[in-house]
């Protein structure tokens, strides 16, 4: 009889084979609350133990604190990734039904596979365009290429715990938590692409606000207003980077890509946007302009001319790189591993 009923149903002229799409496994609000919960899981353990909690006599840069915190965030990442996987895979109850995605689909949404090595290199090249000026400053003006001939920067990463945290452990764990474990929840909840890109990074930025407390704790001599301004600035650029990393993650579908971009940006820091360029490596170094009638030695004249040439070249590359970044933003992030269709960025 069920077969006969199905046949009669199909004979109905108003019958449609298309079934309504299943409801999303969770709502946008639920996904957002999970993201906040993930951020708390990442940060709060830092203050639950004397091994990870900074004090006036124990800096967050102390090797013992860095080691303990790396262990803590690794556990947090495992918990959050497992939670996302269980929420999105079949058989896990979500609301009044049991909807879910295939395991392979979830692994792809989390950016674990495929690695998308070529897409990652293209994303790294795109990011490098923004830093053409700083790269010129490091490799040419400061002769940084000599350090790379001996692989000194790589040795520093493995010998210095602060460098290891900033360039390896930090980028990897933050991208696993705030991209791999978080973005699939937003996609599964059918949150718009624009909201996913521009709102979720706010949680990523807020997760860095605790640095204000740690900075004040270990630098009490710095005025509170200056420390607060420092934290607001940090919140702004971490949120901006979070939006960019989310865009890269959605376009490439690769955890490797966002980890590489994050490490590169951490290694470069913020570009110099004013002042003369000097090979001292100490940032902005003012070069006095001689008054009429003053005498300069030949060496001083050559140095000043080189400084002017370096400065002009630096800012031309900085602006040119920004233009190149803008023009290639979509081209260098186009690939077959994207988590969403290209049209979704326009329609949302």
Contact 84, 184 (CB under 8 A): yes
Determine the straight-line distance between the first and last CA of the chain, rounded to whole angstroms: 46
In total, the chain counts a number of residues equal to 348
**Number of other residues whose CB lies within 10 A of the CB of residue 79:** 15
**Number of other residues whose CB lies within 10 A of the CB of residue 123:** 28
Phi then psi for residue 27, to 5 deg, are -85, 160
Contact 73, 42 (CB under 8 A): yes
Task: Give the relative orientation of helices 117-130 and 255-268 as an angle to the nearest 10 degrees.
Answer: 30
Contact 44, 71 (CB under 8 A): no
CA distances from 212 to 72, 177, 199, 228 (A): 20, 21, 22, 7
Told to judge if 208 belongs to the known catalytic residues of this protein, a careful annotator would answer yes
Classified as helix, coil or strand, 58 is: strand
How far apart (Å, rounded) are the C-alpha atoms in residues 184 and 178?
A: 10
Whose tokens are 């004397």? That residue is 50
Listed residue (129, 83, 131) closest to 272, CA to CA:
131
**Number of other residues whose CB lies within 10 A of the CB of residue 48:** 10
How far apart (Å, rounded) are the C-alpha atoms in residues 260 and 117?
A: 10
Phi then psi for residue 5, to 5 deg, are -65, -40
Contact 169, 70 (CB under 8 A): yes
- Active-site residue identified among 108, 208, 214, 262: 208
Contact 83, 292 (CB under 8 A): no
H-helix or E-strand spanning residue 139? none
- Active-site residue identified among 174, 175, 214, 278: 174
Catalytic residues: 174, 208
């Amino acid at each position: 009889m069920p077969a006969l009923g199905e046949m009669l149903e199909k004979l109905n002229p108003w019958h449609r084979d298309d079934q309504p799409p299943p409801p999303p496994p969770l709502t946008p609000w639920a996904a957002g609350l999970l993201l906040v919960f993930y951020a708390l899981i990442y940060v709060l353990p830092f203050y639950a133990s004397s091994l990870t909690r900074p004090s006036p006599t124990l800096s967050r840069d102390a090797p013992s604190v860095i080691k303990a915190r790396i262990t803590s965030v690794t556990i947090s990442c495992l918990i959050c990734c497992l939670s996302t996987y269980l929420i999105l895979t079949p058989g896990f109850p979500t609301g009044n039904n049991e909807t879910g995605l295939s395991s392979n689909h979830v692994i792809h949404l989390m950016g674990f596979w495929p690695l998308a090595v070529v897409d990652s290199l293209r994303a790294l090249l795109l990011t490098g365009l923004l830093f053409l000026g700083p790269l010129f400053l490091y490799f040419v003006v400061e002769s940084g290429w000599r350090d790379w001939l001996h692989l000194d920067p790589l040795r520093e990463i493995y010998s210095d715990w602060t460098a290891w945290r900033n360039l390896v452990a930090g980028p990897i764990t933050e991208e696993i938590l705030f991209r791999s474990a978080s973005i699939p929840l937003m996609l599964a909840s059918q949150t718009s692409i624009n909201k996913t890109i521009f709102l979720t990074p706010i949680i990523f930025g807020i997760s860095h606000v605790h640095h204000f407390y740690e900075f004040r704790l270990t630098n009490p001599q710095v005025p509170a207003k200056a420390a607060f301004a420092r934290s607001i600035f940090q919140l702004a650029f971490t949120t901006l980077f979070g939006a960019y990393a989310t865009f890269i993650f959605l376009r490439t579908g690769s955890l490797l890509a966002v980890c590489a971009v994050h490490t590169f940006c951490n290694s470069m820091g913020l570009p110099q946007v004013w002042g003369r360029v000097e090979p001292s490596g100490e940032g902005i170094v003012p070069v006095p302009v001689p008054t009429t009638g003053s005498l300069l030695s030949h060496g001083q004249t050559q140095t000043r001319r080189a400084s002017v040439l370096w400065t002009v070249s630096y800012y031309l590359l900085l602006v040119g790189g920004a233009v190149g970044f803008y023009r290639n933003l979509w081209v260098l992030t186009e690939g077959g591993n994207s988590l969403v269709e290209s049209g979704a960025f326009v329609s949302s």
